[in-house]
Amino acid sequence: MTDAPRPSVYSSVFKPDLFAGRVAVVTGGGSGIGRCTAHELAALGAKVALIGRKQSKLDQVAAEIAEAGGEAAGFACDIREEAQVAAAVTSVLARYRRIDHLVNNAGGQFAAPLENISQKGWETVVRTNLTGGFVMARECYTQWMKANGGSIVNIVADMWMGMPTMGHSGAARAGMVNFTETAALEWSRSNVRVNAVAPGWIASSGMDQYPPEMGERIRGLKNIAPLGRMGTESETAAAIVFLLSDGAAYISGSTLRVDGAAPNAKISRPMPPNTNPAPEFDGFHLAVKPKVLGG
């Protein structure tokens, strides 16, 4: 995030009317990458249905979007509960009459080595990061997209070659990549495209949810990132928006990494630190640096 004066609306790299007349559902839309993506989609003409557990957070984001000239509404729902998901999708359709796009962004985890994760803790994270995403996608598909087409982007994570201290999340995210590939095939005859975006080290509000003892490690990530910095919420949102758009009309079953090449770093062949970080893109007018990074 830069310190330069910010505009009053989202500054997207895409044309302003890209999603005019369309409806996009964004889960986890009350904060972080979901909030940023919702703002960008609304700035590009979409009507945005925000899904999350806390109605107050959804209403706040909807108010932000309205102030910027867009349209959004919140639909409180715990994506881990099948009946709630089905009802939320039905409510979105009752209000907007269509669902063209789904951003399966809601998720969460806690840091712990595998030996300290209980079955309950494991299953809670898997239900949030895998099962909930599946149910949300299935309901959007069966209730609307099967007959009308659409595009889905599932948000996963940098879990390639393992995810130490977050094995529950890594397993769930790997499962979501496989689900993405399967759904892309099974739902292709309905003209539904399904892709995934895998964010790496993104400077987002989620970083402030980890315990204080992880602060030094989080702040040091930029020093081992090949591009010499962390990513922004806007850079992740731009990847999501592209995959939802008509420009990605022949892309399905793919996972797009937004990670500054971090998984490509080799312990056996260490590269010198990048002392000239790559320029960042930050089009989100309401972006705030996480507290753990000095925000």
CA distance 136 to 141: 9
HSE on the CB side for 134, CA within 13 Å?
16
Q: Where are the alpha helices (DSSP H) in 187-289?
A: 215-219, 221-224, 233-244
**Cα-based angle 156, 158, 161 (whole degrees, multiple of 5):** 120
Query: Could you tell me the residue ranges of all domains in the chain?
Result: 23-260+273-293
Q: So what's the pLDDT on residue 83?
A: 98
Q: So what's the pLDDT on residue 206?
A: 75
Q: So what's the pLDDT on residue 2?
A: 52
Q: So what's the pLDDT on residue 264?
A: 87
pLDDT tens track for 237-263: 999 999 999 999 999 999 999 999 888
Query: Do 93 and 34 contact (CB within 8 A), yes or no?
Result: no
Residues in the chain, pLDDT under 50 = none
Distant-in-sequence, close-in-space partners of 91: CB < 8 Å, separation ≥ 6 = 75
Q: So what's the pLDDT on residue 248?
A: 98
Q: So what's the pLDDT on residue 215?
A: 78
> Can you point out the beta strands (E) in the chain?
23-27, 47-52, 71-76, 101-104, 150-155, 192-199, 255-258
CA distances from 228 to 56, 231, 257, 262, 268 (A): 37, 10, 17, 10, 19
Query: Do 156 and 109 contact (CB within 8 A), yes or no?
Result: no
CA distance 140 to 57: 23
Beta carbons within 10 angstroms of residue 214's beta carbon: 14
Q: So what's the pLDDT on residue 232?
A: 95
Instruction: List the one residue out of 32, 95, 35, 83 whose CA is nearest residue 59.
Output: 35
CA distance 231 to 240: 14
Query: Do 109 and 129 contact (CB within 8 A), yes or no?
Result: yes
Q: So what's the pLDDT on residue 236?
A: 97
3 state SS of 49: strand
Q: Which fold has domain 23-260+273-293?
A: Rossmann fold (3.40.50)
Concatenating the DSSP letter of every residue in 78-93 gives: -TT-HHHHHHHHHHHH
